[in-house]
Every structure is written in C-alpha cells, then in structure tokens.
Amino acid sequence: MSYRPGPVATIAMAQLLGTSLWFSANSAADDLMANWGLGNTDIGWLTGAVQGGFILGTLIMALTGLADRYRASTVFVASAIAGALFNAGFAMGADGLASAMAFRFLVGLSLAGIYPMGMKLIVGWAPERTGQALAQLVAMLTLGTALPHALRELGTGLPWQLVILASSGLALLAAGLIHALGDGPHLPLGRPGQTTGARPGAVLKAFRIGRFRAAAWGYFGHMWELYAFWTLVPLLVSHTLPAGWIPGLGTFGMAFGIIGAGALGCWLGGRLSLRVGSARVALAALATSGACALVFALCWRDLPALALGLLLLVWGASVVADSPQFSALSARACPQEWVGAALAMQNAIGFAITVVSIAATTSLFDRIGPDAVWLLIPGPIIGVLGFALASRRAGATS
C-alpha cells in the first residue's frame, strides 16, 4: 500500500496506455480508405473486429472462471504484451481489409485481459470507493480511446504505421506498470484446479441477483450508444463543423477533444458518486447523453458551429460518465469471488451490443450522413427504463 504514485493512479495510467490499442486503426482511417479503397462501412467493420475479439475473450474468461482463478496482474501483463504484438502486426503485416480485420480481432481478444482485469485490480486495491476509483479507470480508458486521434493530429505527414506502432509501445509500458504493482489485498484468489465460486458457468448466477440485473440493463443501454458514438465522432466533425473552424486544429484534434471530454465526465461523476451514489450519477449521465443525441439529430443542420461544438463536447463528456458507475453497482451487487467473471460477462454482452450498433450506424451514415445518430437514441431510453424497472422489482422482492 506504500507504492507510489499509488495503486489506483498506477492502474488508471496503465489503462490509459493499454487501451490506446482500441481505436488505433481509426486514427489511420483516412490513409486506409485511400490506400486500400475502403469506405466508412469498412472502417466500422475494423472497429467491429476489435469488439468481436473482445467479446470472445471476455466470454472465455467469464465462463471458464479464468478471470478469478489467476492473478489479475498476470492476466493484464500477458494481455498487454500480446495486444502490442498483434497491433504491430496490423501496422506492418496487414495489406487489405481481410488481414487487417484478423489482426484487429486478435487485438480485441487481448483487450479482454486489459479492461476487465483493470476493473478487478481497482476492486482489489480500493473496495471502499469503487465508484470513484472505477471512474478514474474509465476516464483513462476514454483518454486511451482518444489518444490515437491525438497521435495522428501531432503526427500529420508521418506514415500511419508509425502512429499504430506508437500505441504498441504504450501498451508495453502499461504491462511494465502493472507488473511492478501486482494485485491488491482485498479479493480472494482461486488457483488452477481449485474449486471456487468462480468455477465454470457459476457467473451466470449473478444475473439472478436483482441489483446486478438492474445495473446490467443500464450498462447495456449505455453500450448501444457509446462505441458507435466514438466511432462516428471523426465523421460527425468532418461533416458538420467547418474546416479550420478552430485555427490549427484538424478533424482528429477535435475528435480527440470530444472523446477526451469523457475523462472529465468520468472524474466529475466519480466525485458526485461519493455524495449522491452511483445509481443517480449513472442515470443522470445516461439521460444527458440521450438528450444530446436527440438535440443533435434534430438540430445539426441549423446550429451555429460554436453551439454544435459545445453540444458535441457535452455529449462526449456524458456518454461515458455512466459506465464506471454501472460497473461499480454490478461489482457491489455480486459476491466477491464472482467479481472478475461477472464484470467480464457483463462486458461481453455489452460489447456484443456494440458490434450491432457500430455496424448499423456506420452503414447508415454512408446513406444518410449525420442523421444516422437517430439510431443511437434508443440505447439511453432502454437503459434508463430497464434500470428503473429492474430496480423496482428487486426492491419489491428483497
């Protein structure tokens, strides 16, 4: 516990560096479209390949009990190294959409050992302030998602492969940080061959718990919107904001600002959760992002650039602020010996939803442009209603 700069800060920084792998391909979208003759739909498929790998990885970890049978730090380190290598393979070995999707799928498979294990590490080090600590973690994931856009903005004129390789280097640094930190003292550790609560399939019992089910409903509605929005951000910027609107800042720089605003939203949400609770923060953020989507869909043609830019910033800040709070609610609702597997299972289902929403919105964007954001609005609506109804039922049966 005397580790400096502190376990939570170290895990959060490792999350920032490790998850830079997630959208590294999107930062090279323009070059890939020009060199390989891809369209917006194809870029959506590249993102979907990452999500598909992540889903398979989290399902394997959840259903086999691997997430709770091995040290979270060990799984994180091995996954970050593997992700860095597969990402480098994408940069140096891919020569078209098919091979690129294969490498991106393997990157997603590796990320399944980074994101959920980062959450488990947080619970292991700071169980008394899970909502706030997870908010820091997701804030770093958000910045990690935005980071490739910043690298691309700063590296304008450089080969896209170098930008991709920079993300691999950051992931290796993340592995080093977690290797030095290790696991926290507050979670039980199963051993290979030992019969524990994390035995294969046991995690499915978590969905019988009313409070876990309520948090999962909110999380799933949130996930319909989140990654599709992040995928669309560069397209929304380039199609709705005038070029050169902010002097010296291009499309990728503005995309970094909009996505990166989610880090501030997560931090503020974490602070508020200490006062009003995770449930209120999560529902308020989900309702705000849904309202932003609705206003954008209705008014993007008529709003001046300043108002539209501010709307996108508020949307970027609120669209992810609910994520750590729903995860905190889920972590508190299930037994400790299931935490890693339960969060991995929730992630797997949530990211399966993102594959559908990303494919649908990017395909629709090719046809109708920014009006495709109408497709994002049902997510927040279903999330808020599902959480409220499941919470009421859980209260009535408790």
Please report the DSSP string for 82-112 in residue order. Answer: HHHHHHHHHHHH--SHHHHHHHHHHHHHHHT
Tokens of 265: 């939203």
| Domains of the chain, residue spans | 7-183+200-397
pLDDT score, position 162? 86
d(CA 308, CA 291): 14
pLDDT of residue 357: 93
**Cβ-proximal residues to 154 (8 Å cutoff; 6+ apart), any chain:** none
Residues 10-23, mean pLDDT to the nearest whole number: 86
pLDDT at position 189 is: 53
For the question of whether the overall pTM of this predicted structure is more than 0.95, the answer is no
Whether pLDDT at 234 is above 60: yes
pLDDT, tens digit, 9 for 90 and up, residues 259-272: 999 999 999 998 89
pLDDT of residue 382: 95
Distance of alpha carbon 38 from the chain centroid? 25
Sign, Cα dihedral of 154, 158, 163, 166: negative
What does the pLDDT average to over 228-248? Answer: 86
Confidence of residue 133 (pLDDT cuts 50, 70, 90): confident
Mean pLDDT of 132-155: 77
- CA 205 to each of CA 54, 196, 342: distance values in angstroms, whole numbers, following the listed order: 22, 14, 9
Query: Which CATH number, 3.10.110.10, 1.20.1250.20, 3.90.1300.10, 2.40.160.40, labels domain 7-183+200-397?
Result: 1.20.1250.20
pLDDT at 157: 67
- What is the reported pLDDT for 371? 96
Highest mean pLDDT among 20-34, 43-57, 145-159, 290-304: 290-304
Residue 197: its pLDDT value, please? Answer: 42
Pick 184 or 240 by higher pLDDT.
240
Angle at 24 between CA 352 and CA 217, to 5 degrees: 25
For the segment 75-82, the average pLDDT, to the nearest whole number, is 95
Q: What tokens were used for 32?
A: 């890939």
Instruction: Give the tens place of pLDDT for each residue, 292-350.
Output: 999 999 999 999 999 999 999 999 999 999 998 998 898 888 776 677 677 778 888 88
Predicted pLDDT of residue 250? 80
CB-neighbour burial class of residue 191 (10 A; exposed 0-12, middle 13-18, buried 19+): exposed
**What mean pLDDT value characterizes the chain?**
85
Least confident of 147-151, 250-254, 317-321, 379-383: 147-151
Token digits for 118?
């980062």
